[in-house]
């Protein structure tokens, strides 16, 4: 009888179950009311007195082994079932994902578009790989014109000249060719110039250029539009226009806003004057209208353009333009709270 108990203990220790049904059958076989364990305890009274101590110890070992095996397998099966259920439960919470944010250039571009869309400007886009006519000649920059030197260009092909656009004015040229006045359009996009990369300059940057053409458009209309923009974008209501030169506008001007001299940073970025240049503008040159088959005796218009990076650097006090292109997550994460 003692040898039988030891054999049963070995069977219990070696038992393995892959389903709850197998485990329940094992429990009933060994620990049920009519199970082996109860039968052995019933036989205890028939054991010789000199063997009862050893037989009782073996029974207790058998009982503990059976109970331990049942508890062990039950916990193992429940854990496996939990993991399987979690994987198949499509309603359970997903693993936490790190949310990204818009790039600061995209944020500022959208803000500019939003400001001008309130006064009727629509968005127009064009190719980044452009031909000579739309990028230069149609904009009153004929071949060998010295003003072309103002924009050091990446040429892709020659004869005919194919290049990376140096400004989004080329989009305006295409828009004027395909649309009749009145025209009120905004042209945001990426442009390219062969410039040395530094904290203030880059060979790739972004522009937003605006164009308005209609009858009786005056310089006063242009100034009022720019004043509206600076108030909405910067909260600044004081601007000045300095005479300048652009081949496609006449007269032309640089637009400055009064930034103020309240902090050390204000002194630094305005060079102690309080004034800060933000864009260029002017009345559309009649030659540009002629090249787009628009009658300059009937229509007039104004144009303006600004660098998005420059506006972003002013708004967020970013000291180095190269930070926009380094894809440093530590820099980009600072804009998560901005729409």
- What DSSP line would sit under 220-236, residue for residue? HHHHHHHHHHHHHHHS-
Q: Is residue 233 within 8 Å of 115, Cβ to Cβ?
A: yes
Q: 177 labelled as ligand-binding?
A: no
User: Taking residues 281-297, what's their average pLDDT?
Assistant: 96
In the structure, what pLDDT confidence band is assigned to residue 142 with cuts at 50, 70 and 90? Answer: confident
Closest to 175 (Cα-Cα) out of 226, 122, 222: 122
Model confidence, pTM: 0.70
Q: Quick one: tokens of 279? A: 């864009």
Q: How many CB atoms lie within 10 A of CB 80?
A: 11
What pLDDT, on the 0 to 100 scale, is given for residue 37?
73
Could you give the CA distance from residue 167 to residue 20 in angstroms, rounded to a whole number? 72
Question: Which of the 8 DSSP states describes residue 12?
Answer: H
23-35 pLDDT, tens per residue? 788 788 877 777 7
User: Please, how many CA atoms are within 13 Å of residue 126, restricted to the half-sphere of its CB?
Assistant: 27
Contact yes or no for 43/8 (Cβ under 8 A): no
Euclidean distance between CA atoms 141 and 167, whole angstroms: 13
Q: Mean pLDDT check: name the lowest of 105-114, 125-134, 190-199.
A: 190-199
Q: How many CB atoms lie within 10 A of CB 162?
A: 14
Alpha-carbon dihedral 112, 115, 116, 122, rounded to 10 degrees:
80
The string over 260-274, giving b where at least 16 C-beta atoms fall within 10 Å of a residue's C-beta and e elsewhere, is eeeeeeeeeebeeeb
Do residues 315 and 336 make contact, with C-beta atoms less than 8 angstroms apart?
no
pLDDT of residue 88 exceeding 70, the answer is no
- Rounded CA-CA distance 20/144 in Å is 88
> For the domain 104-334, what is the CATH code?
3.30.930.10
Q: What are phi and psi of 85, to 5 degrees?
A: -65, -40
Q: Which helix (H) or strand (E) holds 176?
A: helix 169-178
Please tell me the predicted confidence (pLDDT) of residue 112.
97
Predicted confidence (pLDDT) per residue in 176-194, tens digit? 999 999 999 999 999 999 8
CB 110 within 8 A of CB 224: no
- Tokens 């009937």 locate to 298
The residues of the chain that CATH labels 3.30.930.10 are 104-334
For Cα atoms 285, 304, 174, give the angle at the middle one, nearest 5 degrees.
Answer: 65
> 265: which 2 tokens?
């940073």
- Of 75 and 131, the one with more pLDDT: 131
* DSSP 3-state of 186: strand
Average pLDDT of the residues in 40-67: 75
- Helix pair angle (104-117, 308-316), 10° resolution: 100
Whole-number pLDDT of residue 76 = 82
Instruction: List 277's β-bridge partners, or say none.
Output: 256
Rounded CA separation 130/318 (Å) = 31
pLDDT higher than threshold 90 for residue 62:
no
The answer on pLDDT for 57 being more than 60 is yes
Three-class DSSP category at 256: strand
Task: Please report where in the chains the tokens 């395909």 appear, as a residue.
Answer: 178
């Amino acid at each position: 009888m003692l040898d039988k108990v030891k054999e049963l203990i070995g069977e219990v220790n070696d038992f393995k179950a892959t389903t709850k049904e197998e485990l329940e059958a094992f429990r009933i076989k060994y620990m049920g009311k009519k199970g082996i364990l109860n039968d052995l305890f019933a036989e205890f009274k028939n054991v010789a007195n000199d063997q009862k101590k050893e037989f009782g110890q073996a029974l207790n070992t058998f009982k503990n082994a059976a109970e331990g095996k049942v508890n062990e397998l039950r916990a193992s099966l429940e854990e496996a079932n939990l993991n399987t259920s979690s994987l198949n439960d499509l309603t359970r919470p997903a693993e936490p994902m790190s949310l990204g944010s818009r790039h600061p250039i995209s944020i500022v571009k959208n803000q500019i578009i939003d400001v001008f869309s309130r006064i009727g400007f629509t968005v127009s886009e064009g190719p980044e790989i452009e031909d000579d006519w739309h990028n230069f000649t149609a904009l009153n920059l004929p071949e060998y014109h010295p003003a072309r030197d103002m924009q050091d260009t990446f040429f892709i092909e020659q004869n005919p000249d194919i290049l990376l656009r140096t400004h989004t004015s080329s989009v305006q040229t295409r828009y004027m060719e395909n649309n009749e006045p009145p025209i009120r359009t905004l042209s945001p996009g990426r442009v390219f110039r062969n410039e040395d990369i530094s904290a203030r300059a880059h060979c790739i940057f972004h522009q937003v250029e605006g164009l308005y053409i209609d009858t009786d458009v005056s310089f006063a209309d242009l100034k009022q539009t720019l004043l509206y923009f600076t108030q909405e974008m910067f909260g600044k209501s004081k601007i000045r226009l300095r005479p300048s030169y652009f081949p496609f506008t006449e007269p032309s001007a640089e637009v400055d806003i009064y930034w103020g001299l309240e902090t050390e940073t204000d002194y630094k970025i305005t060079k102690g004057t309080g004034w800060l240049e933000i864009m260029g503008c002017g009345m559309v040159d009649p030659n540009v209208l002629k090249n787009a088959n628009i009658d300059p005796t009937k229509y007039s218009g104004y144009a303006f353009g600004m660098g998005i990076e420059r506006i972003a650097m002013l708004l967020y006090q970013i000291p180095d333009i190269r930070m926009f292109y380094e894809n440093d997550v530590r820099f980009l994460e600072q804009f998560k709270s901005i729409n």
